[in-house]
Structure formats: structure tokens, C-alpha cells
């Protein structure tokens, strides 16, 4: 009883503090948090797109479907095989990555020398098939996925309540994004990758197996999307539509950032998440469109994108 | 040349007697989508620009016509004209933005811009949100011919389609169209010849979007409905599929592609197989791209050339 009273006092104290600047700080920081979480997903997805684009020069339209596949595989692993969240976080990106490698080998590579618009259409077809299959078997209403026991609950900060799982999403995706950036920019493997981006023929001449690197890169880029999907499963309901909705936003983000730099893709993703979150607080009606409007402004002011290298 | 004219004549005769043999509403649907695909083909097939948000012009034309017909009592030809102009205007704005980027970026920009419009229409009060605009009156053409009769409506739609088809042909075979093809084949060279490439792309984009709007306006009158389905990215994907399947850059490709896709949808809808529609569409995409890039008409032309040419 006493505990409840103390809590109430603290809560009302918090309310007084929260509204002291005329705006509701609780709500604002809540939306900022949601923005950062969405930004983490945007960053993972656009990073994957940028890596694939660097070496293959194609845009993977199935990236959103792969994100959806990640979430569904996590759900299926738990419900059919009893594989828990932590194992899913490791195994699902691997499984989806293997699928992507097969897709690259048997669907994308045969048309690698054609106009790149064809590969866009091909991956669009793959996305339609995947989305159609899951709608057929699981319906479009969405399935629940429990937050893992270790990450239930939250931490009370002076200005907001921070659910542990949400903090985990932000931290883990930042770690993954940063490690990827580090591998590409600072290691020998990354140097091969960058060299392959610049001049694949010369690389081949040096005795490096470029087709193998290309295939693995495609697999890894897609695995990033699947990782995002597993992370998203407990916060968003697992549904076939989740992939296409996020992908179109990520496309706008890719146009905003330009695909010239790996760091730029990560940064733009996070930034746009925050912009969306702030809009949700100050003018909720525009929250679905703000990123597209931002894209229009970037096209007018700096058509190559914020981090774009092309003229 | 005479051979082609005979072919046109033959097709027009078929189109004139068709409504006595086939359900006219199905034919009108087919003609609307064929016009939409022709408009899209002008951009993809003849300029090499893949717009992945073309549904927005179909839908915008539909909404404008639907709204005006419901609330102002305009005659249908004026309603359609307004829808076409509205879509063309939106095309002028979107096209100006989209031609700033090329290739894959162009596709992503158009898709994102279309999604922007989708969310706008979802929230805007005059579109009826999820319900759409229902019960749009067809009215009387020039105030004289009652379009509630499906046969009258069919011949009106056929006239619109022939006009749109003719306009696309006229554009493609004009000096302007030759420059568009030059841009498709070798853009740096077109630039070095002194053409302002972006302006040419922009004008082509406006024509294409206005014609897509014409198709959408007509479709709204036919079904007496304007809804979010027409602005959804699925619809943008469908028109890409029609053009790809029929044969991009060919004269009759979009027509054949629209015919096949609409027929498949009609066969599947309502039945057990309705759920499979997206899977089948996706599979057709994959097969087309892997084995069949010239489309039905393109492959047929190759076959004729090989055996009789």
C-alpha cells in the first residue's frame, strides 16, 4: 500500500516536471524513442541495400520481403521448433542469407549483364511471391511474438520510462551497423569489397574470386534485413505486409542519403527515424509523409543525395 | 504499310462487334488498362524510364473525375477532361523532380512520390478514405447520350482508347519521339548533340501521366467508383507487368499484356484461386525477366522475322 502511494507521488512529481516546459516531455521522448527504433530498422535495411548496390549495382526490391521473412522465420522457429529468440537472432539471418545466396546464384546472376532495371523487376517478382505465399498461409492480420523473458520490463529514467527491449533494439542494431561499417572500411576483406566495387575486372586479374565475393555480399546484405526482421518481431506484429510498407520508406531514405557511402546509409536511416518521431509528436498528420517530403526537398536542393558522390 | 493498315482495320472491326459477344464491362475494363499500359509504355519502352509509381496518375484522374461528377453535375466528357488535366499537372510536378535522377533511382523516386500521394489521399476528406468515392454517376455524354447503357458507354470508352492509342503512336513517330528513342539508346550522345535531355524526358513524363489520368478517369466512370486500390503500389506493379509481359517498346505489347493480365485476374477472382493472384503475378514477373524479356509481342515479332523476314 505504502509503495503504491510513494509511486503515485513520484509519478505526479514526474508529471509536473514533464509539462514544465509547456510541452509534454514524456510524450516527446517516447516518440523520439519510437523514432530511434524505426531509424534502427531503416539503417539496417538501407545499409543492406547499399552494400548490395555497391558490388552488384542492383537494387534488391525483395529487401522488404526478406525483412518480413526474418520476422516470420523467428515466429515459425519459436512455434514449430521451440527455438527461442536468442537462437533465432543468430540462425534466422543465416537461413535467410542462404536463401538469398541461392536467389543470387540462380535468378540474379543469369541476368547480371542485362539492363539493371530487369533485376529490379525480378526482385520485385520475388517480393510479390513471398508476400503472396505468407498471406495465403498466415492471413494478413498479423501474429504476436513475445518479448524474450530476459528483456521484459524497463528502466525508469528521470524524463521517461525506457522498456528494455526497445533499448536492446537500438543498441544491437547500432553495434551491427557499426561493425559492418568497420569491416568494410578498415579490414582487408572490406578492401577487397571496395576494390570490387571500383573495378571487378582488375580484381579478378589479381586472382580474387569476384563472383564468390559478389554472392556472399548479396547474402550478407539480405541477412541484415532478416536480422532487422527478427528484432522487429516482438515490437510489431508479424504480418506479410510489414515488408512492403517499410521498403518504400527505405527507398526514399536511399534517395535522400545516396548510396555512395556505407556510413551515409546508416546515418540517414537513423536521422530519418528521428525526423519521423519528432513529426509524430508535433504534427502527427504528416508522420507518414514527412520522409517523402524530405526526399522532395533533397531532390530540389542536392539531387545526388546528402552523401551521394555522383554529379 | 498497307499490311499494318489492314491489321488496324481488322482490330477496329473486332472492337466494334465485341460487345455483342463478350460482357461489355469486362471489355471496358480491358480498354482502360490497355490505355494505362500504353501510356506507361511510352515512358518505359520508348524513353527507357521505369516509373514505379504510375498508379498515382491513374488514381488522381479517377478521384478528380469522381469528385466532380458527384458534386458538380458536370457532363462526363468535361469530368474526364478535368481528370486528365489534373493528372497531367501532377505529372508535371512529379516528372520535374523524378528526371533529376536516372535508372534505378528514377524508379525509387517515382515509387516514393506515389506513396506520398497515397498517404495524402488516405487522409484527405474528399476521397472518402478507405471507402473511396462510390456511386459516381456516368451522366449523359454532351448532355445527350445516356451512358448508363453499357453499350453506349462501351463505344465512348473505345473512342477514348483509340484517341489515346493514336496519340502515343503519333508521339513515338514524331521527330520528338525520335529524340526520345535516341535518349533511350545513348543518352550521353543525345546530350552531346545539344538536346536538353531532361526537358525531353519531362515532356514525355507529362504526356504519359496525362494519358494514365485519362485511363483512370474513364475507369472511374465505367465502374462508378474511385478508390485507393488505383493509387496503391500494387497497381503500379501491375502496369509494369502488363507492359513487360506484352512486350515493352512494341506497339501492341501493352494491349496484349493488359488483355492477358486482366483475363487472369478475372479467372482467379472470386474462386478458390483468388489468394494466389499475387503469387502468380510474381511468378510471371520472374519468368518474363529470366526467359522472355521481349514479351509476347516482341517474341512473336522475332519469330516472324526469323521465319518469314
- Counting the structural domains of chain A, the total is 1
Percent of the residues in chain B that have a pLDDT greater than 90, as a whole number: 34
Residue B233 has pLDDT above 60, yes or no: yes
Percent of the residues in chain A that have a pLDDT greater than 70, as a whole number: 92
Do residue A58 and residue B120 have CB atoms under 8 angstroms apart?
Answer: no
Distance, in Å, from the CA atom of B233 to the CA atom of A124, rounded to the nearest integer, reads: 11
Task: Give the mean model confidence (pLDDT) for residues A108-114.
Answer: 86
Task: Give the mean model confidence (pLDDT) for residues A25-44.
Answer: 87
* Contact status, residue B238 vs residue B116, Cβ threshold 8 Å: no
Residue A7 within any structural domain of the chain:
no
Mean pLDDT over the full length of chain A: 85
| Facing A255 at nearest CB: one of B112, B240, B244 | B112
Residue B1 has pLDDT above 70, yes or no: no
Residue B80 has pLDDT above 70, yes or no: yes
Distance, in Å, from the CA atom of B24 to the CA atom of B31, rounded to the nearest integer, reads: 10
Residue B90 has pLDDT above 60, yes or no: yes
As a whole number of Å, the CA-based R_g of chain A is 21
Do residue B289 and residue A296 have CB atoms under 8 angstroms apart?
Answer: no
Residue A149 within any structural domain of the chain:
yes
Residue A224 within any structural domain of the chain:
yes
DSSP E strand boundaries for B96-141: 133-134, 140-141
Confidence category of residue A19, pLDDT binned at 50, 70, 90:
low
The single-letter DSSP state of residue A148 is P
Smallest Cα distance from A288 to chain B, Å: 7
Do residue A116 and residue B279 have CB atoms under 8 angstroms apart?
Answer: no
Residues of B in contact with A244 (CB under 8 A): 233
Residue A3 within any structural domain of the chain:
no
Helices A63-81 and A210-232, axial angle in degrees (round to 10): 60
Smallest Cα distance from B6 to chain A, Å: 35
Confidence category of residue A311, pLDDT binned at 50, 70, 90:
very low
N-to-C CA span, chain A? 68
Distance, in Å, from the CA atom of B6 to the CA atom of A204, rounded to the nearest integer, reads: 56
Residue A163 has pLDDT above 50, yes or no: yes
Do residue B282 and residue A136 have CB atoms under 8 angstroms apart?
Answer: no
Domain that residue A35 falls in? 31-301
pLDDT of residue B272: 65
CATH label of the domain that carries residue A178: 1.10.3470
Do residue B289 and residue A254 have CB atoms under 8 angstroms apart?
Answer: no
Task: Give the mean model confidence (pLDDT) for residues B241-258.
Answer: 90
Q: Which of B40, B47, B75 is nearest to B211 (CA)?
A: B40
Residue A14 within any structural domain of the chain:
no
Q: What are phi and psi of B134, to 5 degrees?
A: -105, 160
pLDDT tens readout for residues B24-66: 888 899 999 999 999 999 999 889 899 999 999 999 999 999 9
pLDDT of residue A310: 54
**Per DSSP, what are the bridge partners of residue A143?**
A238
Residues of A in contact with B239 (CB under 8 A): none
Mean pLDDT over the full length of chain B: 87
Confidence category of residue A2, pLDDT binned at 50, 70, 90:
very low
Smallest Cα distance from A42 to chain B, Å: 15
Task: Give the mean model confidence (pLDDT) for residues B294-299.
Answer: 86
Its pTM stands at 0.87
Residues of B in contact with A255 (CB under 8 A): 101, 105, 108-109, 112
| Facing B278 at nearest CB: one of A128, A295, A299 | A128
Do residue B233 and residue A248 have CB atoms under 8 angstroms apart?
Answer: yes
pLDDT of residue B273: 67
Q: Which uninterrupted H or E stretch holds A163?
A: strand A161-163
Confidence category of residue B9, pLDDT binned at 50, 70, 90:
confident
Distance, in Å, from the CA atom of B244 to the CA atom of B296, rounded to the nearest integer, reads: 9
Residue A224 has pLDDT above 60, yes or no: yes
pLDDT of residue A3: 44
pLDDT tens readout for residues B164-180: 999 999 999 999 999 99
Residue A16 within any structural domain of the chain:
no
Amino acid at each position: 500500500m505504502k509503495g503504491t502511494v510513494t509511486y503515485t507521488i513520484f509519478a505526479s512529481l514526474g508529471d509536473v516536471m514533464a509539462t514544465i516546459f509547456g510541452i509534454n516531455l514524456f510524450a516527446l521522448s517516447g516518440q523520439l524513442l519510437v523514432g530511434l527504433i524505426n531509424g534502427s530498422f531503416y539503417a539496417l535495411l538501407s545499409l543492406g541495400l547499399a552494400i548490395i548496390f555497391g558490388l552488384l549495382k542492383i537494387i534488391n526490391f525483395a529487401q522488404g520481403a526478406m525483412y518480413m521473412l526474418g520476422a516470420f522465420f523467428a515466429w515459425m522457429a519459436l512455434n514449430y521448433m521451440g527455438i527461442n529468440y536468442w537462437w533465432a537472432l543468430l540462425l534466422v539471418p543465416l537461413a535467410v542469407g542462404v536463401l538469398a545466396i541461392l536467389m543470387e546464384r540462380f535468378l540474379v546472376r543469369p541476368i547480371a549483364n542485362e539492363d539493371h532495371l530487369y533485376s529490379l523487376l525480378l526482385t520485385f517478382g520475388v517480393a510479390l511471391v513471398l508476400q503472396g505465399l505468407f498471406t495465403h498461409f498466415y492471413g494478413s492480420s498479423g501474429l504476436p511474438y513475445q518479448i524474450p523473458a530476459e528483456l521484459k520490463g524497463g528502466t525508469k529514467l528521470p524524463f521517461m520510462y525506457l522498456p528494455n527491449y526497445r533499448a536492446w533494439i537500438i543498441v544491437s542494431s547500432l553495434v551491427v551497423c557499426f561493425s559492418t561499417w568497420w569491416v568494410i572500411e578498415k579490414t582487408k576483406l572490406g578492401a577487397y569489397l571496395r576494390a570490387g566495387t571500383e573495378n571487378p575486372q582488375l580484381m579478378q586479374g589479381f586472382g580474387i574470386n569476384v563472383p564468390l565475393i559478389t554472392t556472399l555480399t548479396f547474402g550478407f546484405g539480405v541477412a541484415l534485413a532478416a536480422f532487422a526482421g527478427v528484432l522487429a518481431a516482438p515490437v510489431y506484429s508479424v504480418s506479410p505486409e510489414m515488408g512492403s510498407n517499410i521498403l518504400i520508406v527505405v527507398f526514399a531514405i536511399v534517395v535522400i542519403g545516396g548510396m555512395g557511402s556505407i556510413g551515409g546509409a546508416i546515418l540517414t536511416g537513423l536521422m530519418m527515424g528521428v525526423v519521423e518521431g519528432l513529426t509524430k509528436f508535433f504534427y502527427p498528420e504528416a508522420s507518414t509523409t514527412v520522409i517523402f517530403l524530405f526526399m522532395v526537398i533533397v531532390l530540389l536542393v542536392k539531387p545526388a543525395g546528402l552523401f551521394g558522390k555522383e554529379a | 504499310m498497307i499490311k499494318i493498315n489492314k491489321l488496324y482495320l481488322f482490330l477496329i472491326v473486332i472492337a466494334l462487334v465485341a460487345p455483342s459477344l463478350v460482357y461489355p464491362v469486362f471489355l471496358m475494363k480491358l480498354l482502360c488498362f490497355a490505355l494505362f499500359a500504353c501510356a506507361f509504355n511510352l515512358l518505359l519502352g520508348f524513353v527507357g524510364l521505369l516509373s514505379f509509381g504510375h498508379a498515382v496518375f491513374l488514381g488522381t484522374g479517377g478521384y478528380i473525375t469522381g469528385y466532380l461528377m458527384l458534386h458538380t453535375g458536370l457532363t462526363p466528357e468535361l469530368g474526364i477532361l478535368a481528370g486528365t488535366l489534373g493528372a497531367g499537372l501532377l505529372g508535371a510536378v512529379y516528372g520535374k523532380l523524378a528526371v533529376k535522377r536516372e535508372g534505378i533511382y528514377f524508379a525509387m523516386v517515382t515509387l516514393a512520390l506515389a506513396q506520398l500521394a497515397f498517404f495524402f489521399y488516405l487522409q484527405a476528406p474528399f476521397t472518402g478514405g478507405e471507402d473511396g468515392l462510390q456511386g459516381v454517376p456516368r451522366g449523359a455524354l454532351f448532355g445527350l447520350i445516356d451512358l448508363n447503357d453499357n453499350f453506349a458507354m462501351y463505344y465512348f470508352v473505345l473512342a477514348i482508347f483509340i484517341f489515346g492509342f493514336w496519340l502515343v503512336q503519333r508521339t513515338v513517330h514524331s521527330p520528338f519521339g525520335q529524340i526520345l528513342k535516341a535518349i533511350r539508346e545513348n543518352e550521353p550522345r543525345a546530350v552531346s548533340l545539344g538536346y536538353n535531355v531532361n526537358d525531353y524526358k519531362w515532356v514525355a513524363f507529362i504526356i504519359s501521366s496525362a494519358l494514365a489520368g485519362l485511363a483512370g478517369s474513364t475507369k472511374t466512370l465505367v465502374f462508378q467508383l474511385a478508390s485507393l486500390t488505383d493509387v496503391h503500389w500494387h497497381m503500379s506493379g501491375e502496369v509494369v507487368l502488363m507492359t513487360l509481359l506484352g512486350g515493352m517498346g512494341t506497339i501492341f505489347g501493352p494491349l496484349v499484356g493488359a488483355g492477358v493480365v486482366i483475363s487472369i485476374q478475372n479467372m482467379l477472382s472470386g474462386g478458390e484461386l483468388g489468394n494466389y493472384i499475387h503469387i502468380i503475378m510474381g511468378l510471371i514477373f520472374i519468368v518474363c525477366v529470366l526467359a522472355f524479356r521481349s514479351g509476347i509481342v516482341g517474341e512473336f515479332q522475332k519469330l516472324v522475322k526469323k521465319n518469314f523476314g
